[in-house]
């Protein structure tokens, strides 16, 4: 019993002392509250900055990621729309080209009373000065049919026909000889005739022009129809350099052919030309 009372008497003062110390500590905290907070913020500031930056970077990364995703989707949508517009433009241009070609066919047919067949160039053989077109025997194409463009410039003639395509020999082919007439403003003087000989590489020369006839640069050459293959008055080329030698019976000239394969992809085949 005495031992119990002794322990009780010992614990009570300890509790009392603990309470007093706790109250004193609370008072000190209240007294130095600002200082403790300042010390805590000072110590924890680098850590807080790191967390804040990490959070900010993560936030920025997420925002950038979301924005990138949105931009990617937007760009994809724009690309699709752009492709659709380009396709529509291509279709409209093709339709416009076809309509223009049909108008040109009607115009030429009304002027010359020719039956024209519209064709596309699908290949060029620069070694043989020939072209490949997308019309053949199933379209009524025959050998020796003349081939022109919408300005009535002569390109050549069909020389090999297949079922669905044909080869056209250009007038610049080395084996080609074309009878021509030199167009003059003077209608009183007798016409001047000659022959255009192909030299290959899309070039040709004017030959067998009589020495006593005057020809000059920029004179226009047109078909004469004397050989019976081509209708008359188709455009061939123009003289660029006259070559005259008194020791030869004829004068020659360097010429510039009017056909241009780089600027055209549609031609016309004259399907019903007959020698007059």
Give the pLDDT confidence of 25-64 residue by residue, as tens digits: 666 655 555 455 445 444 544 554 454 444 444 444 444 5
Over residues 139-151, the pLDDT tens digits come to 999 999 999 998 8
Question: Which range among 4-13, 130-139, 177-186 shows the weakest confidence by mean pLDDT?
Answer: 4-13
Separation CA 243–CA 205 (nearest Å)? 10
Share the mean pLDDT of the chain: 76
In this prediction, residues 163-184 reach a mean pLDDT of 94
The reported pLDDT for the residue numbered 241 is 96
The reported pLDDT for the residue numbered 125 is 93
Q: What is the H or E stretch that residue 183 is in?
A: strand 177-183
pTM for this predicted structure: 0.61
The reported pLDDT for the residue numbered 225 is 82
Q: Which of 218, 219, 222, 216 is nearest to 243 (CA)?
A: 216
The reported pLDDT for the residue numbered 52 is 40
Burial of 27 (0-12, 13-18, 19+ CB in 10 A): exposed
Backbone angles phi, psi at 46, to 5 degrees: -60, -40
């Amino acid at each position: 019993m005495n031992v119990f009372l002794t322990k009780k008497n010992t614990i009570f003062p300890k509790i009392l002392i603990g309470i007093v110390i706790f109250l004193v500590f609370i008072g000190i905290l209240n007294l130095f509250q600002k200082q403790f907070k300042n010390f805590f913020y000072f110590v924890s500031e680098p850590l807080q900055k790191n967390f804040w930056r990490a959070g900010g970077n993560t936030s920025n990364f997420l925002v950038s990621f979301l924005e990138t995703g949105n931009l990617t989707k937007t760009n994809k949508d724009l690309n699709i729309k752009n492709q659709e517009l380009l396709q529509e433009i291509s279709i409209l241009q093709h339709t416009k080209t076809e309509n223009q070609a049909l108008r040109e066919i009607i115009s030429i047919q009304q002027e010359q009373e020719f039956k024209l067949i519209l064709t596309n160039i699908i290949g060029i053989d620069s070694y043989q000065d020939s072209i490949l077109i997308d019309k053949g025997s199933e379209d009524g194409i025959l050998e020796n049919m003349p081939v022109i463009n919408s300005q009535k410039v002569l390109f050549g003639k069909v020389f090999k026909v297949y079922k669905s395509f044909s080869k056209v020999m250009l007038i610049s082919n080395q084996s080609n000889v074309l009878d021509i007439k030199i167009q003059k403003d003077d209608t009183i003087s007798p016409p001047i005739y000659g022959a255009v000989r192909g030299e290959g590489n899309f070039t040709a020369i004017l030959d067998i022009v009589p020495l006593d006839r005057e020809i000059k640069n920029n004179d226009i050459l047109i078909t004469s129809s004397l050989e019976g293959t081509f209708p008359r008055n188709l455009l061939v080329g123009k003289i660029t350099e006259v070559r005259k030698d008194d020791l030869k019976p004829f004068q020659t000239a360097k010429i510039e052919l009017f056909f241009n394969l780089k600027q055209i992809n549609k031609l016309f085949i004259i399907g019903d030309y007959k020698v007059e």
